């Protein structure tokens, strides 16, 4: 390897390393030339180090090599780690400069100031934008959230599954699917792993999770919609009701909020973002009927019963949870049957309402879940009540013919969690290479 450690690793051992030879590799962040001495700032994902190149210290061929470097060149530097006068505290006195790669064209976007550019320009030049350490911190954080999700649920007996993304039918019976040309057969991209994670539970895996892409052919142009995002899905058997699923989610978010404060690998993220989040010991749960009432009485916002929450309503309920419960999270439960998919379990004797819920995080829906209907005859009825043709869902109905435990689960949007946690304005900022109706490259 040309590089044996990250810059942050050098800083964390700097006390021991001072006076010895170290090797720093990365991107040239900046160069200051003061005649006989050049100060080169080298950057990697974890930090920035100053390299000092000067006559007497640095051999002539390396001094010359340093003149090949421009901003965003890639290079390795060897030298003595020294205490320095800069605010970085340590610097490298170079004995060797090894250029590796140099821009062949002027930079269309300066990493240092990329956050001042329009988002569409940043996304066009994402490989420069992400060199800004505040931007790369978003992706380090995202990687950590996915990790925590898996670790949390693995620790609770969940098995990771890998279900197909090419499917023969849409999950919700709707039209918002991308067709795929599949060896002359009709096929689509999966809108969610819903049917298959339920199948895995019924197949005896019992508690499963999946982290994978989700495709939605929705022509939305908002700051919270993507046509391709990553779903964090869980599904669990032998529940008594949707509360069991909510408790699991609550436990996950409580842990996420707590460990975000201390996780070593987030040290670089905490340089740029405030990671504090309020998750009370019991996240408030309000029924949709209560939500309509709160919106009407407290915020003078009228939503017809049976209608979904609009973005403003979500924000107001987020305010309500913070003000009343000091909570950044709130569950809205017992969603109307009218706006939930056919596989949602309905309330016994009160069939206009369901065992479905949403989880709002700082006023944005980040998870949707429910107890599922596991009874074959009820599933048939649900399909018919939705005006759907059971014949088209036979492959799914078959799963329920041979013993299915009561079960439920939820699907979370990874990018939305990151957006809300970090206070980003647009969910696209939390996706390395977002896709929307207009954007398909890079």
Judged by CB, which is closer to a second copy: 65, or 295? 65
* The binder of a second copy chosen from 39, 84, 134, 178 (CB under 8 A): 178
Judged by CB, which is closer to a second copy: 142, or 365? 142
CA 426 – CA 361 distance, rounded (Å): 15
CA 45 – CA 67 distance, rounded (Å): 24
Judged by CB, which is closer to a second copy: 331, or 399? 399
Among the listed residues 273, 274, 245, the one whose alpha carbon sits nearest the alpha carbon of residue 355: 245
Judged by CB, which is closer to a second copy: 11, or 292? 11
Q: Is 237 in the site for a second copy (CB under 8 A)?
A: yes
Judged by CB, which is closer to a second copy: 250, or 328? 250
Task: List binders of a second copy among 142-171 (CB under 8 A).
Answer: 142-143, 146-147, 150, 154, 157, 159-168
Task: List binders of a second copy among 184-203 (CB under 8 A).
Answer: 185, 187, 189, 196, 199-200, 202-203
Q: Is 392 in the site for a second copy (CB under 8 A)?
A: no
- Find the shortest distance in angstroms from Cβ 389 to a second copy: 16
- Find the shortest distance in angstroms from Cβ 50 to a second copy: 18
Judged by CB, which is closer to a second copy: 81, or 414? 414
The Cβ-side half-sphere exposure at 174, using a 13 Å CA radius, reads: 14
Task: List C-alpha distances in Å: 194 to 143, 153, 206.
Answer: 23, 17, 14
The stretch among 299-307, 319-327, 357-365, 391-399 that binds a second copy (CB under 8 A) is 391-399
Task: List binders of a second copy among 104-123 (CB under 8 A).
Answer: 104-105, 107, 111
Residues 6+ apart with CB under 8 A from 350: none
Task: List binders of a second copy among 367-386 (CB under 8 A).
Answer: 374-377
Q: Is 13 in the site for a second copy (CB under 8 A)?
A: no
Q: Is 72 in the site for a second copy (CB under 8 A)?
A: yes
Check if the beta carbon of residue 353 is closer than 8 Å to that of residue 346: yes
Residues 6+ apart with CB under 8 A from 131: 27, 43, 72, 111, 114
Q: Is 244 in the site for a second copy (CB under 8 A)?
A: yes
CA 437 – CA 418 distance, rounded (Å): 22
Judged by CB, which is closer to a second copy: 39, or 178? 178
Residues 6+ apart with CB under 8 A from 300: none
- CA angle 198-201-203, nearest 5°? 110
- Find the shortest distance in angstroms from Cβ 11 to a second copy: 15
- The residues pairing with 28 across neighbouring beta strands, listed in sequence order, are 42
CA 437 – CA 416 distance, rounded (Å): 18
CA 393 – CA 169 distance, rounded (Å): 8
* The binder of a second copy chosen from 37, 63, 173, 206 (CB under 8 A): 206
* The binder of a second copy chosen from 48, 88, 180, 424 (CB under 8 A): 180
């Amino acid at each position: 390897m040309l590089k044996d450690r990250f810059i942050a690793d050098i800083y964390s051992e700097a006390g021991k390393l001072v006076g010895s030879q170290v090797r720093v590799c990365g991107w040239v962040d900046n160069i200051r030339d003061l005649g006989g001495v050049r100060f080169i700032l080298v950057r990697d994902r974890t930090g920035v180090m100053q390299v000092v190149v000067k006559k007497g210290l640095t051999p002539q061929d390396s001094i010359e090599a340093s003149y090949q470097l421009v901003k965003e060149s890639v290079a390795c530097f060897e030298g003595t780690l020294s205490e320095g006068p800069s605010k970085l505290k340590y610097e490298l006195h170079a004995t060797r400069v090894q250029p590796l790669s140099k821009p062949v064209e002027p930079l269309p976007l300066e990493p240092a100031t990329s956050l001042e550019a329009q988002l569409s320009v940043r996304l066009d030049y994402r490989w420069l934008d992400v060199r800004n350490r505040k931007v790369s911190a978003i992706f380090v954080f995202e990687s950590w959230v996915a990790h925590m999700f898996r670790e949390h649920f693995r620790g609770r007996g969940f098995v990771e599954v890998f279900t197909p993304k090419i499917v023969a039918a849409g999950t919700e019976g709707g039209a918002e699917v991308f067709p795929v040309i599949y060896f002359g057969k009709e096929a689509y991209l999966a809108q969610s792993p819903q049917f298959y994670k339920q199948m895995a539970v019924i197949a005896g895996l019992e508690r499963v999770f999946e982290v994978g892409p989700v495709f939605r052919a929705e022509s939305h142009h908002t700051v919270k919609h993507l046509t391709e995002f990553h779903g964090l899905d869980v599904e669990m058997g032998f529940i008594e009701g949707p509360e069991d699923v909510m408790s699991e989610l609550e436990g996950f978010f409580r842990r996420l909020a707590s460990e975000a404060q201390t996780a070593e690998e987030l040290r670089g993220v905490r340089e740029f973002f405030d990671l504090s989040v309020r998750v009370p010991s019991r996240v408030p749960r309000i029924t949709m009927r209560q939500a309509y009432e709160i919106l009407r009485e407290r915020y003078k916002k009228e939503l017809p019963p049976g209608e979904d929450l609009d973005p403003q309503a979500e924000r107001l309920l987020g305010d309500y949870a913070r003000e009343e419960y000091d909570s950044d999270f709130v569950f809205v439960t017992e969603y109307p049957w009218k706006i939930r998919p056919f596989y949602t379990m309905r309330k016994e004797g009160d069939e206009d309402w369901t065992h479905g819920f949403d989880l709002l995080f700082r006023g944005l829906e980040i998870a949707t879940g429910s107890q599922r209907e596991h009874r074959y005859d009820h599933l048939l009825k649900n399909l018919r009540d939705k005006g759907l043709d059971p014949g088209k869902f036979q492959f799914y109905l078959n799963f329920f013919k041979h013993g299915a435990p009561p079960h439920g689960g939820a699907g979370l949007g990874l990018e939305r969690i990151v957006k809300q946690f970090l206070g980003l304005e647009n969910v696209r900022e939390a996706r390395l290479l977002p896709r929307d109706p207009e954007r398909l490259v890079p």
